[in-house]
Structure 1
Amino acid sequence: MIGRALLASVATALPLLAAPTAAQTASALGVRAAPADCDPPKGVTRVPGGEPWAQQRLDIKGAWRLTMGKGVTVAVVDSGVDYKHPQLRLAKFIDETSTGFRDCVGHGTAVTGIIGARYTQGVPFHGVAPEVRLVMVKQSNAQEGEVATLVKAIEDAVRAKPDVINVSVRASDTPQLKAAVENALAQDIVVVAAAGNVTNEDDEEEPAYPAAYPGVLAVGAATPDGRRADSSNAATPVDVLAPGTEIIAPWPGGTYQRGLEGTSFAAPYVTGTAALVRARFPKLSQEQVQQRIVATADGTAGRGTGAGMVNPLLAVTAVLPFEPAGSPVVAAPPPEPLAADAIAKVPPPDEAAVNVSMTVGAGALGAAAVAGALAWLIPLGRRRGWRSGRPD
């Protein structure tokens, strides 16, 4: 069985779907009807309280000056999605349940929106990377699912050739799940997964999969003050934190849900950041994208916090010294020191020339004095008839 995130302290966490074309009706797809209990909690028609704290804390719009994720494909493995939501634009639908697009939990719609909800004038909520191409892979209709279905969902997501895969699911470790994740990583796909949740005092903290697999970017949940949320599983080796409490996100019925909590809702903030990095630096490998996100996080704050809060703006702007030569973001090497003969030295003074100059200058001054004296004496002599002067 696989578990999920928290919604107002109720466990939830699932996979996603994508939008149908006009020709893709339920009958054409051969899907079964959604379960009779497909009734997610009601949302609200407007985003409450202005811009959500998570968007302000991460300064997402600051990163948009460089990229909004255009050209990047993100696959989301979750519970379905409300493809009619005005802020969601989906590109592809993969349904492992044969029950259609409906999101019977709400989880998939929220995760999808956090990653790539379109910016809409006058609406305070937006996704981290609103120009990404979204591929939805529906793997469950409920709060629990089967590991075998999750494995198939990840395999089908890989076949869609995404740049990033979001898995907001907590599952047990199986060879099949590990192989599916390793295959995704080998295909140069960034895999982001939720670290899992501790929903009550009786829960035993143990590593959650696929987040605990090597190479997966594992995400813990943070509170508005930056600390790890009590519900965030610290037994999983966390790489970074992201907002995971008091979350507002799109919800089925064209609405929004508030009070969402859990690592499942933290993971898509990191997935969106990975999409921004891949759009900004398309030559970076999935390992380098993960390194960049970890290296630019805001700083660890104890057990289960990894490198600290993800920082989208730094992730797309920082110059990192460990990135390889030829990287589009590597720092320029320091300038070479100037050669010893690059600048001509000032020659020593020529003593002979100085003496000649002084002699010539002195002669010139003497000649000028004589000329001045003659100019005064000659007219005076002429007036006196060239006689010497006598006293009166």
Structure 2
Amino acid sequence: MRAVLRQRGLGKHECGMGELRLSPARVRASRIVRVLVAGVLALPVLGSPAAAAPEECKPDKGTLKLPASEPWAQKRLDIKTAWRLTRGAGVRVAIADSGADYHPQVQLTKIVDETHTGYRDCVGHGTAVSGIIGARFLSGVPFHGVAPDAVIMMFKQSNKSEGDISHLIGAINDAVAAKADVINVSVRAADTPALKAAVQRALAQDIVVVAAAGNIEGPDDEDVPAYPAAYEGVLAVGAATPDGRRADSSNASTPVSVLGPGTDITAPWPGRAYKLGLQGTSFATPYVAGTAALVRARFPRLTQEQVRRRITATADGTSGAGTGTGMVNPVLALTAVLPYESVNAPVVAEPPPAALPADAIAKIPPKDETAITVSAVVGVGAVLSIMVAGALVSLIPLGRRRGWRAGRPT
């Protein structure tokens, strides 16, 4: 039966591989097959979404304890150094995913449920992606997002590990209507005219579209590009290992733009928890989407094409199929001077030096009035002494010549 699902483009999601896969859903028969596999009558699904039978919402359990050390992805990208220039304030990032549960580090400003199944994240995927992009910094917590001050909006397009491509299309269209600046699509779907049109509409509205290049889960995946990542104008993201090379599971058939950290990833998880050991292009993508948010905040005059070009031009170079221009580099993306940018693009200068501490320069001591008075008296006395001495030098010889007699009056 799994072969039938793959042939129809349904597939599945595994937290370890980090990928949501959607069917084209061109005919109702595909929905019937999917529902029968799940052992549920097909009628409720084909009717009104609100009439669908409730499903269990049991994402995998996470952990409440994080390692003391900072995750390698954060250290590798040197995100805190990028924060010296911007933390993404004011940039609207839309996420088309499986929803998002409450988490103390993740603050959502908008949730749109395309599935009519409720806002909860029954997979964990959307909560993780949201956290990688915009999790707030908390003192004592080693994990944080790339752009913690960005405005995060969730567009729920699936309630489980598989979904309907029409919901993804609706999520992208609604993100455009919400005036998103960046759209994160950590989803692998089939190529359809409606999906392509939705992506082109987003690009035409000057939105940076960042999408996962997809994962290789079997021989059938190796030569199949992932959409919407394979569309022209989309920032396609592959998964990288800590040493910067492409992860073996990252799909090289998709025209990759850059790589993002995609193995042994830590991220927020439903239940106010965290998930360790995540891997896949789904979790590499939000690192690049977060970088796009930083660039848009730092350079608000750049177009989506210029943002995409800046991110690819400043990535850490690598070679080989499916690597693009290498690992994304947020710090260089915010500081590099690109000679081919137009005159309207800002020239990036080094950040201004930090203010000197108050005790860095010694203060001028207050005037010592007593010392000044004494010095003045001594100076005047010295001058008078010199004058008296000069007078005596002239008068004494004269007095001797006259025998010390008074001179005649004139």
TM-score of the superposition, structure 2-length normalised? 0.74
Q: Tell me which amino acid in the other structure corresponds to 2:345.
A: S
C-alpha displacement of 1:102: 0.6
2:257 maps to which residue?
239
1:7 maps to which residue?
15
Distance (whole Å) between structure 2 residues aligned to residue 260 and residue 12 of structure 1: 13
1:212 maps to which residue?
230
Q: Tell me which amino acid in the other structure corresponds to 1:8.
A: G
Taking a change above 3 Å as real, the CA distance of residues 304 and 53 of structure 1, as seen in their structure-2 partners, is same
Distance (whole Å) between structure 2 residues aligned to residue 138 and residue 32 of structure 1: 18
Please state which structure has a larger fraction of its residues in helix: 2
* 2:149 maps to which of 114, 131, 139: 131
Q: Find the residue that maps to 2:211 and give its secondary structure.
A: strand
Q: Is the Cα–Cα contact under 8 Å of residues 170 and 196 in structure 1 kept in the other structure?
A: yes
C-alpha displacement of 1:4: 6.8
1:41 maps to which residue?
60
Q: Is the Cα–Cα contact under 8 Å of residues 166 and 271 in structure 1 kept in the other structure?
A: yes
* 1:171 maps to which of 189, 193, 202: 189
- The answer to whether residue 67 in structure 2 is matched with residue 59 in structure 1 is no
C-alpha displacement of 1:37: 2.7
Q: Find the residue that maps to 1:128 and give its secondary structure.
A: coil
C-alpha displacement of 1:100: 1.5
Distance (whole Å) between structure 2 residues aligned to residue 226 and residue 201 of structure 1: 25
* 2:310 maps to which of 289, 292, 295: 292
1:205-354 equivalent positions in 2, closer than 5 A: 205-329=223-347
Taking a change above 3 Å as real, the CA distance of residues 39 and 272 of structure 1, as seen in their structure-2 partners, is same
Q: Find the residue that maps to 1:316 and give its secondary structure.
A: helix
2:98 maps to which residue?
79
How high is the sequence identity, in percent, across the aligned residues?
68
Structure 1: segments with no counterpart, 5+ residues: 15-29, 332-392
2:132 maps to which residue?
114
C-alpha displacement of 1:71: 0.9
* 2:202 maps to which of 165, 184, 207: 184
Deviations 1:251-309 (A, max 9, x none): 00000001101100000000000000000000000000000000000002211000000
- The worse-fitting range, judged by mean Cα deviation, of 196-205 and 299-308 is 196-205
Taking a change above 3 Å as real, the CA distance of residues 99 and 32 of structure 1, as seen in their structure-2 partners, is farther
Q: Find the residue that maps to 1:145 and give its secondary structure.
A: strand
Q: Find the residue that maps to 2:275 and give its secondary structure.
A: strand
C-alpha displacement of 1:47: 1.9
Q: Find the residue that maps to 1:218 and give its secondary structure.
A: strand
Deviations 1:192-216 (A, max 9, x none): 0000000134534311100000000
1:88 maps to which residue?
106
Q: Tell me which amino acid in the other structure corresponds to 1:246.
A: D
Taking a change above 3 Å as real, the CA distance of residues 54 and 133 of structure 1, as seen in their structure-2 partners, is same
1:377 maps to which residue?
none
C-alpha displacement of 1:48: 2.5
Distance (whole Å) between structure 2 residues aligned to residue 114 and residue 165 of structure 1: 14
Distance (whole Å) between structure 2 residues aligned to residue 115 and residue 13 of structure 1: 21
C-alpha displacement of 1:185: 0.1
C-alpha displacement of 1:223: 0.6
Q: Tell me which amino acid in the other structure corresponds to 2:66.
A: V
Distance (whole Å) between structure 2 residues aligned to residue 4 and residue 307 of structure 1: 29
Q: Is the Cα–Cα contact under 8 Å of residues 5 and 168 in structure 1 kept in the other structure?
A: no
1:98 maps to which residue?
116
> How many pairs does the alignment contain?
315
C-alpha displacement of 1:152: 1.0
Taking a change above 3 Å as real, the CA distance of residues 307 and 32 of structure 1, as seen in their structure-2 partners, is farther
- The answer to whether residue 169 in structure 2 is matched with residue 161 in structure 1 is no
Q: Tell me which amino acid in the other structure corresponds to 1:67.
A: T
Deviations 1:65-121 (A, max 9, x none): 000000100000000101x21001110111101111110000000000000000001
Distance (whole Å) between structure 2 residues aligned to residue 35 and residue 163 of structure 1: 34
Distance (whole Å) between structure 2 residues aligned to residue 305 and residue 4 of structure 1: 25
Q: Considering only aligned residues, what root-mean-square deviation do their CA atoms show, in Å?
A: 1.9
Q: Is the Cα–Cα contact under 8 Å of residues 128 and 267 in structure 2 kept in the other structure?
A: yes
C-alpha displacement of 1:33: 9.0
Q: Is the Cα–Cα contact under 8 Å of residues 242 and 309 in structure 1 kept in the other structure?
A: yes
C-alpha displacement of 1:145: 0.8
TM-score of the superposition, structure 1-length normalised? 0.77
Distance (whole Å) between structure 2 residues aligned to residue 13 and residue 112 of structure 1: 18
- The worse-fitting range, judged by mean Cα deviation, of 5-14 and 67-76 is 5-14
Q: Is the Cα–Cα contact under 8 Å of residues 91 and 134 in structure 1 kept in the other structure?
A: yes
Q: Is the Cα–Cα contact under 8 Å of residues 12 and 105 in structure 1 kept in the other structure?
A: no
Q: Tell me which amino acid in the other structure corresponds to 1:94.
A: V
Q: Find the residue that maps to 1:313 and give its secondary structure.
A: helix
Q: Find the residue that maps to 2:255 and give its secondary structure.
A: coil
Taking a change above 3 Å as real, the CA distance of residues 10 and 136 of structure 1, as seen in their structure-2 partners, is closer
Give the 4+ runs in structure 1 shifted more than 6 A.
30-34
